[in-house]
Structure 1
Amino acid sequence: MSVTFRRLTAADLPLLRSWLQEPHVARWWNHETSPEAVERDFGPAARGEEPSEDLVVTVDGDDIGLVQRFRLHDYPEYVAELTPHVPVPVEAVSLDYLIGDPARIGHGLGPVVLREAVEDTWKNYPQAQEILIPVVAGNQRSWRSLEKAGADRIASCHMEPDNPIDPPLHHVYRFARATW
């Protein structure tokens, strides 16, 4: 299986919008999906105006999902939310991810994509020693994928959930370069 990543472009926004509308994605991403909202929230990264990267995940030539990657310290509000619970090294990176194609859910693809995303992060962010990923505790599929990919749960704590219907309990996972 070949997993690759490429930068999201403006031409990808309709596909991303369709993924965000899928029930298995909408439940956890809780994102407004009008064309204007998708452009507003993802267009700046696609144009290189944001420090984050939105990467289309391609598996065996098919676009199947998205990985967002960013240095945590580029977003002080995330650091402020995490710091009371875990140390956040200056060069730490975070990932957010989705498999948008419903035909690809439940086949073990999540851990494979995450491992490849971690490898790609170590290559493209040579100063990063850790990847920290908070996940709402109710999203068991997501945190089990992190565990299967080799992440360690380093904390369970209350944080503001993306979806207001979720309780605040989150698990924080870490990939450490030193033990990868």
Structure 2
Amino acid sequence: MPGAITFRPLTRTDFPMLARWLADDRVHRWWFQDHTDAAVEKDFGPQIDGTEPGEDLVVEIDGRAVGLLQRSRIRDLPEDVAALEPIVGPVPATAWCLDYLIGAETDRGRGLGPRMVTAAVDDTFSRYPEATEILVPVVAANRASWRTLKKAGFVIVASGDIPPDNPVDDPRHHVLRRIRTGTI
């Protein structure tokens, strides 16, 4: 799937598209959240309004929306710090995290995931010079996701239990890490 990958802020006009993506069985399996209009507003509206930390970005290829990227500084999310530190030890103040999804079934299985994650890492390190690393916890059962991260240069640095988003999942997570070149 050739084309330039870019990111733009999620807007409320994207909510119907995002709701469709979240309703897709393969997305919903791992992004286990309600996809009603009210739920999408509740979950994504605060980032748009700037009242919660982090960024929700639409991933585009040549101007066509293909996915969602969430990006934040981990220290801005105390619950994430609390979940990660028993597994990886102290989380540096310079660590960021990512989460992502590919929206349409027709865009999956074509190498987009690793390209999208690589572009997200490059963009994060470019936009946030203080960022020294990116940590991503992934449910161990979500093999496709942690393999995507590995293809994008991440390594598994620890495994441990974190409460899963989907109650059918075992709490076992792999924590993957990508370090900015020239640091640590």
Aligned counterparts of 1:40 and 1:116: Cα–Cα separation in 2:
28
> TM-score, with normalisation over the residues of structure 2?
0.95
Aligned counterparts of 1:155 and 1:70: Cα–Cα separation in 2:
20
Contact 1:32 1:38 in 2 (8 A): yes
Counterpart mapping for 1:104-143 below 5 A? 104-143=107-146
CA-based RMSD of the aligned residues comes to: 1.1
SS in 1 for 2:175: strand
Change over 3 Å in CA distance of 1:6–1:19 after alignment to 2: same
Aligned counterparts of 1:14 and 1:45: Cα–Cα separation in 2:
17
Q: Identity across aligned pairs (percent)?
A: 52
User: Any unmatched runs of 5+ in structure 1?
Assistant: none
SS in 2 for 1:178: coil
| Structure 1 residue 92 displacement after superposition | 0.8
Query: Equivalent residue for 1:34?
Result: 36
SS in 1 for 2:109: coil
After TM superposition, what 4+ stretches of structure 1 lie above 3 angstroms from structure 2? none
Query: Equivalent residue for 2:78?
Result: 76
Query: Equivalent residue for 2:18?
Result: 16
Counterpart mapping for 1:83-94 below 5 A? 83-86=85-88, 87-94=90-97
Q: Which amino acid aligns with 1:31?
A: Q
Contact 1:9 1:47 in 2 (8 A): no
| Structure 1 residue 163 displacement after superposition | 0.5
| Structure 1 residue 156 displacement after superposition | 1.0
| Structure 1 residue 91 displacement after superposition | 1.8
Number of aligned residue pairs: give it.
180
> TM-score, with normalisation over the residues of structure 1?
0.97
Query: Equivalent residue for 2:156?
Result: 153
Contact 1:94 1:131 in 2 (8 A): yes
